[in-house]
């Protein structure tokens, strides 16, 4: 067991926290703090010193004022489903669990946006939106995951192929700064009940998106929601190699007809992912793809099907190995009927491993997928790990995602370290060709900052200092 840092529990601080949120909602009990000290990733566990569960914006403000005065680190937390160690307290301090703030404040069925609190789960949001015939961009994550946290962390989802990342669907936000000040950005900053748009105002929301919980605590979020067309068609194809799969995904992505267009390696198409590495059967294709399209009428659906058939015919004329296939039923259902209890529960990926999983998850241009995957494959198999890799187009072919889901035996320090070394080695490979990791653990942040333009790092420091003068928000996560 790794040595834990010295704890800094102060009875006076605990009493003050209890006075803000109530005695039942503030604790320094070891067994509770332990529950917040780890996640599924390779990041070593670290205990917070206190755990608080606020229910109002005013309570969050008071907690932040106390933390800022006493220079105590604060880690925002919702469902804890991230697999990048983002909620593991690097420096102890206050773990602020926001799951009790779970109100859907508004659904505007005419203007197609909703306003939610940070603790609203994907399951709760889906259930309520379906009543209005609306949907949100569900990620391949558990139904208990936070909609807000996924959105502000540039998360992906089933509508990302059409509309972009979930962060691009944000319309307004309310934020408590590390100093305790309450701010609003977007239309709600001008008119209290207007949550429809960030534009044409200066996009100050960028100060709080992708910052890994280091810039403030988002207490209310406006997001776009979309009507649910009644007709679903899923194109499923296979290919013998990543080069052919990339060609297909570029081709079908050009038509911008898909809500999601994704390719997965054979190892990721298995539920669970094989651990340790297991060779692919010789007669199985190495890559599968699913591309979801929704239509309002049968004629529209037929037109989309015509395009899908045209793309396959075009690929076959080019001599690629792309052909229609039957996608594994359980995996297909899990990836088209989200939020899902099947693949959507990350634990289902890890059943052969022992409870651990992490990734090099990156935004990497499509024309870099093949060379990076082929290197990743050598690296991962060399560490006796399956190359369980996913590639996805967003916004047509504008940019893409390349990630590997790596299960490992978290009960073994040796196997965990083996996975960490392999994952960081994979990260270096993709950074070298311009890929950028998302939701990065500190290990990744250090690799990013080594390569970063000095002006970029300087600007990060300046903005962080302006917003958080005492460096208390999720201290250390930016690896600065």
Rounded distance between C-alpha atoms, residue 66 and residue 58, angstroms: 12
Pinpoint the alpha helices (H) of 50-203. Answer: 57-70, 122-130, 147-152, 160-163
**Confidence (pLDDT) at 2:** 46
pLDDT tier at 331, thresholds 50, 70, 90: low
Rounded distance between C-alpha atoms, residue 33 and residue 38, angstroms: 10
pLDDT digits (tens, 9 = 90+) for 410-422: 999 999 999 999 9
CB atoms within 10 A of CB 6: 6
**Confidence (pLDDT) at 350:** 82
Give the closest residue to 145 by CA, choosing from 187, 105, 102, 188: 102
Question: The sheet that has 94-97: what strands, in order across it?
Answer: 26-27, 50-52, 94-97, 74-77
For range 91-106, the mean pLDDT: 98
Give the architecture-level CATH label for domain 231-438. Answer: 3-Layer(aba) Sandwich (3.40)
Coil vs helix vs strand at 349: helix
Per domain, the residue ranges of the chain are 11-97, 104-227, 231-438
Residue 433's contacts (CB-CB under 8 Å, 6 or more residues apart) are: 364, 368, 371, 372
pLDDT above 60 (res 392):
yes
pLDDT tier at 3, thresholds 50, 70, 90: very low
Pick from 2-6, 163-167, 412-416: least confident: 2-6
**Confidence (pLDDT) at 335:** 63
**Confidence (pLDDT) at 111:** 97
pLDDT digits (tens, 9 = 90+) for 319-329: 999 999 987 67
Q: Which pTM value belongs to this model?
A: 0.94
**Confidence (pLDDT) at 347:** 60
**Confidence (pLDDT) at 341:** 53
**Confidence (pLDDT) at 140:** 74
pLDDT above 50 (res 168):
yes
Q: Are strands 113-116 and 104-108 parallel, antiparallel or unpaired?
A: antiparallel
Beta-bridged to residue 393, according to DSSP, are: 261, 400
pLDDT digits (tens, 9 = 90+) for 121-152: 999 999 999 999 999 998 877 889 999 999 99
pLDDT above 50 (res 1):
no
Q: State in Å, rounded, how far the first CA of the chain is from the last one.
A: 27
pLDDT above 80 (res 397):
no
Q: What is the fold of 11-97?
A: 3.30.43
Q: What is the fold of 104-227?
A: 3.30.465
Angle of helix 413-431 relative to helix 442-451, nearest 10 degrees?
A: 30
**Confidence (pLDDT) at 121:** 96
pLDDT above 70 (res 4):
no
CB atoms within 10 A of CB 118: 26
Write down the mean pLDDT value for the chain.
93
For range 36-49, the mean pLDDT: 95
More confident of the two residues 116 and 393:
116
pLDDT above 90 (res 246):
yes
């Amino acid at each position: 067991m790794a040595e834990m840092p010295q704890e800094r529990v102060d009875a006076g601080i605990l009493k003050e926290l209890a006075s803000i949120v109530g005695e039942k909602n503030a604790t320094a009990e070891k067994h509770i703090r332990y529950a917040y000290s780890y996640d599924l990733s390779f990041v070593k566990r670290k205990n917070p010193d206190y755990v608080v569960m606020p229910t109002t914006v005013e309570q969050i403000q008071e907690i932040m004022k106390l933390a800022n005065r006493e220079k105590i680190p604060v880690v925002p937390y919702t469902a804890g489903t991230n697999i990048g160690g983002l909620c593991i307290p690097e420096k102890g301090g206050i773990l602020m669990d926001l799951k009790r703030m779970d109100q859907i404040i508004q659904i505007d069925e005419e203007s197609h946006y909703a306003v939610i609190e940070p603790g609203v789960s994907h399951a709760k949001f889906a259930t309520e939106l379906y009543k209005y015939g609306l949907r949100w961009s569900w990620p391949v994550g558990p139904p208990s995951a936070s909609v807000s946290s996924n959105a502000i962390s540039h998360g992906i989802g089933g509508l990302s192929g059409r509309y972009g990342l979930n962060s691009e669907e944000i319309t307004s936000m309310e934020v408590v700064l590390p100093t305790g000040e309450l701010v609003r950005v977007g239309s709600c900053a001008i008119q209290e009940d207007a949550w429809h748009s960030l534009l044409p105002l200066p996009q100050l929301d960028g100060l709080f998106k992708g910052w890994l919980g280091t810039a403030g605590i988002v207490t209310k979020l406006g997001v776009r929601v979309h009507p649910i067309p009644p007709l679903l068609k899923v194109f499923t194809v296979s290919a013998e190699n990543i080069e052919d799969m990339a060609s297909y995904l570029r081709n079908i992505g050009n038509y911008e007809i898909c809500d999601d267009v994704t390719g997965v390696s054979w190892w990721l198409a298995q539920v669970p992912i094989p651990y340790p590495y297991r060779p692919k059967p010789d007669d199985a294709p190495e890559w599968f793809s699913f591309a979801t399209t929704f239509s309002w009428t049968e004629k529209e659906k037929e037109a989309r099907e015509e395009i899908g058939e045209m793309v396959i015919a075009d690929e076959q004329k080019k001599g690629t190995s792309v052909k229609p296939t039957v996608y594994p039923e359980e995996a297909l259902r899990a990836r088209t009927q989200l939020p899902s209890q099947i693949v959507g529960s990350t634990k289902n990926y890890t059943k052969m491993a022992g409870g651990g999983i992490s990734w090099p998850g990156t935004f990497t241009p499509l024309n870099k997928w093949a060379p990076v995957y082929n290197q990743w494959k050598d690296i991962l198999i060399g560490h006796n790990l399956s190359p369980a890799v996913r590639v996805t187009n967003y916004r047509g072919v504008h940019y893409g995602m390349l990630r590997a889901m790596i299960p490992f035996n978290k009960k073994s320090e040796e196997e965990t370290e083996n996975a960490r070394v392999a994952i960081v080695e994979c990260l270096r490979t993709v950074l070298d060709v311009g890929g950028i990791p998302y939701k990065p653990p500190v290990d990744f942040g250090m690799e990013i900052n080594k390569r970063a333009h000095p002006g970029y790092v300087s600007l990060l420091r300046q903005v962080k200092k302006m917003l958080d003068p005492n460096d208390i928000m999720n201290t250390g996560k930016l690896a600065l």
